[in-house]
A and B are shown apart, each in its own frame.
Chain A
C-alpha cells in the first residue's frame, strides 16, 4: 500500500502544531486585537469629547468642512487633492443617505482591522507560519527521513504546501472571528446588516460613483476577507519558495520582512516609478479597491493586482518545486 496524501498532510499538520507555529499566530492576534480595540475606543471617546456630542452627523459634517479647507490651500500636491476630493464625495454620500461610516460594533471593527492589516501585519503572520516549513527539515537534517521513504519528492512538497494553505486559510478565519469577538466586548456585536458603500471605480484619477451601490456589511466583510485570504495565500506561497531556497529560518524571515516593508515604503512614494506596480509587495492593499481609495500607482485596478499576485505565486511555486526536486541533500 502506498502512503496516502492524507497521511502526509496529517504528518505535516502534527509537525506544524507541535512546533507551536499556529499557537504563536493565535497568541499574536489575541494580544494585538485588544490593543487595537482599545486604541479605537480611545479615539471614539476623544472625538466625542471634542465634539461634545455622541451624534455622528455633526462629526462627519465637520470632517467634510476640514477637508474642503485643506483643498483651498494652494500648497497641496495634486495627488493629494484628488484623494481628498474623492473622500469628500464619499463622506457626502454617507451623510446624504444617513449611513454612519464609523458606527462602532464588532463587524465594523473587523472591517477596519482587515483594511489596516492586509498589506503588512497579516502577511507577516503568514510568514511566521510558512518560513521554516521546509527549511526546518533541511537545517535539522530530518529531510533525510522524508526523502528516503517511498514517496516522490513532489508529493512530499505538495503535502507541505497543502498544509500551509490549510493553516493560512484557518488564520484568516481566525482573524475575522477574533477581531469580531474580542472587539465586540467593547463595541457590541451588532452591525452585520449595516449598509456599506462600495463599487467605486477610479478612472483617470476621477472617482466614478455611477457604479456605486450599497451592500450589507456582512457581504462586504466576506468580499474583504476573501481578498485578504487571497493576499495571504500569495504571501504564503512566496514564503514557501523562500523556505525551500534558504535554509536558515532567520535569513528567510529577514528576506520576507525586507520585501514587505519595502513594499509599504514603495506604495507611499512610487507614483513616479510606474513599473513598480509589477512588484507583488505593491499590490497587497486589495481592500482599497473596495473602499474606493486611489491606488498608489495610476493604472492599477483590482483585476490587475489579482493578476500580478497570481503570476508571482505561480512563478514562486515553479521555482520551489524545481529546486526541491533537483536538489542533492548534503549535510
Chain B
C-alpha cells in the first residue's frame, strides 16, 4: 500500500438542528479500494458531499494529498475524481462535448487525453452522439471518463453499482479493481451492501448514525464471521447435541439460537464428520446451513448487540 491520499479526521455536520455526522475519521491509501459501508441514512452521502466540496463541514479536517480542502480548495479538489449519486451529464451535448467541458474546467488537459480516456472506457463509437441517447451503462462509463480525465489520485464513487444489471455490476467491479491495482489509484466507494464491499474492497470503514464504528481490513472483518454453521435439531435432542458438539475436535465454539437451533464455529471441511457423529449419537439432524453474514449481523457484533 502507498501513501495516504485522503485523510479525514473528526468530521462533523449539522443540518438544521440535527447533527447528521458526529465523528468520521479514516484514511485512504494509494492503490487500495476503500469501502464506506453503512445502512441508508447513516450519513454516507452527506460525508461524500463534504469530501468533494459540495457541502461544508462544520468541524474536523479533510486532507487530500496532504492539502486541506478547506484552506486550498482548488489544489485539493484537483486530485479528486468523483461521481456523486448518478453521473450527471449535459444530456443536450455529445459525449465528447461533455468531456471538453470538464477539460476546460480542470485546465491543462491535452486533446489526446480525451481520446485516451474515451478508449479506456470503451466509448469510441458513441462519443459523438448526444448523451440523451445513451444507455445507463454508457452514461456510467462516460461519468467515469469524466471523473478520470484529469488523472486524479483518488476516485470517489457513491454507490457505483446502483441501478446496474448483474453484468454491469461485475464489469464495474473488475474495472474498479483494475484502477487500483494497475493504475495505483485510491478508490473510495460507498455502499449499503456488505457483499459488494466484500468483493471489491481491501479495507472498509463501517459507519452508523454518523459515526465510524470500525475500520479495518475486509478479510479480517469477515474472518470473525467465517466458518459458521447453523444446525437445526428437534428441540427434544438439544442437550444431547450440545454434548456431542462440545466433545468434537472440529468445533471451536457453540451457541444455542432459539430452542431448536445451534450455531457453531468450526472447520468447514469436517461438517460431514460432525454430522455423522451427531447421527451416531442418536440426534436427528433436520438441517445444516452455512451462515451468510448480513450487515445486521455485522452491526450486532460491532456494537455488542446493544445499539439499534
**Which of A's residues lie within 8 Å of B, judged by CB?**
1-4, 7-8, 10-11, 14-15, 18-19, 140-142, 144-152, 328-331
A19 CA to B80 CA in the complex, in Å?
29
Give the number of residue pairs across the A-B interface with Cβ within 8 Å: 85
- Which of chain A's residues have a CB closer than 8 A to the CB of B90? 15, 18, 140, 142
Query: In the complex the two chains form, is B88's CB within 8 Å of A145's CB?
Result: yes
Query: In the complex the two chains form, is A149's CB within 8 Å of B88's CB?
Result: no
Query: In the complex the two chains form, is A150's CB within 8 Å of B78's CB?
Result: yes
B52 within 8 A of A: yes
- Which of chain A's residues have a CB closer than 8 A to the CB of B74? 2, 150-152
Query: In the complex the two chains form, is A14's CB within 8 Å of B84's CB?
Result: no
A136 CA to B154 CA in the complex, in Å?
29
Query: In the complex the two chains form, is A2's CB within 8 Å of B107's CB?
Result: yes
Interface class of chain A by DSSP:
loop
Shortest beta-carbon distance, A292 to chain B, in Å? Answer: 48
Shortest beta-carbon distance, A133 to chain B, in Å? Answer: 14
Taking A14-B93, A328-B15 as given, write out 18 further A-B residue pairs in contact, using a Cβ cutoff of 8 Å, ordered by the A residue number: A1-B108, A3-B104, A3-B106, A7-B105, A7-B107, A18-B92, A140-B91, A141-B88, A142-B88, A148-B54, A148-B77, A148-B82, A148-B84, A149-B106, A150-B78, A152-B74, A328-B55, A330-B49
Can you give 30 A-B contacts (C-beta < 8 A)?
Answer: A2-B107, A3-B104, A3-B105, A8-B104, A8-B105, A11-B101, A15-B93, A15-B101, A18-B90, A18-B92, A140-B88, A140-B90, A141-B88, A142-B90, A144-B54, A144-B88, A145-B101, A145-B146, A147-B53, A148-B52, A148-B77, A149-B106, A150-B74, A150-B75, A150-B106, A152-B73, A152-B74, A329-B54, A330-B49, A331-B85
Query: In the complex the two chains form, is A149's CB within 8 Å of B56's CB?
Result: no
Which 10 residue pairs across A and B have the least CB separation, nearest first? A1-B108, A141-B88, A7-B104, A3-B107, A150-B74, A328-B55, A150-B78, A149-B105, A329-B54, A1-B107
Q: Please tell me which one of the listed residues B15, B56, B84, B97 contacts residue A144 in the complex, with CB atoms under 8 A apart.
A: B84
Q: Please tell me which one of the listed residues A3, A11, A147, A150 contacts residue B54 in the complex, with CB atoms under 8 A apart.
A: A147
Contact with A along B52-82 (1 / 0, CB 8 A): 1111100000000000000001110110101
A1 CA to B108 CA in the complex, in Å?
5
Chain A residue with Cβ nearest B90: A142
A2 CA to B84 CA in the complex, in Å?
23
- Which of chain A's residues have a CB closer than 8 A to the CB of B88? 140-142, 144-145
Query: In the complex the two chains form, is A14's CB within 8 Å of B97's CB?
Result: yes
- Which of chain A's residues have a CB closer than 8 A to the CB of B86? 141
Q: Please tell me which one of the listed residues B55, B93, B97, B107 contacts residue A4 in the complex, with CB atoms under 8 A apart.
A: B107
Contact with A along B106-125 (1 / 0, CB 8 A): 11100000000000000000
- Docked complex: B136-187 residues within 8 A CB-CB of A: 146
Chain A residue with Cβ nearest B82: A148
Chain B residue with Cβ nearest A159: B105
Chain B residue with Cβ nearest A156: B105
A3 CA to B105 CA in the complex, in Å?
5
Query: In the complex the two chains form, is A14's CB within 8 Å of B85's CB?
Result: no
A151 CA to B77 CA in the complex, in Å?
9
Query: In the complex the two chains form, is A149's CB within 8 Å of B49's CB?
Result: no
B288 within 8 A of A: no
- Which of chain B's residues have a CB closer than 8 A to the CB of A3? 104-107
A39 CA to B63 CA in the complex, in Å?
67
B126 within 8 A of A: no
- Which of chain B's residues have a CB closer than 8 A to the CB of A148? 52-54, 77, 80, 82, 84
A1 CA to B73 CA in the complex, in Å?
15
B226 within 8 A of A: no
- Which of chain A's residues have a CB closer than 8 A to the CB of B97? 14, 18
A323 CA to B82 CA in the complex, in Å?
24
Shortest beta-carbon distance, B271 to chain A, in Å? Answer: 47
- Which of chain A's residues have a CB closer than 8 A to the CB of B106? 3, 149-150
Query: In the complex the two chains form, is B55's CB within 8 Å of A329's CB?
Result: yes
Shortest beta-carbon distance, B92 to chain A, in Å? Answer: 5
A174 CA to B91 CA in the complex, in Å?
29
Q: Please tell me which one of the listed residues A4, A7, A329 contacts residue B49 in the complex, with CB atoms under 8 A apart.
A: A329
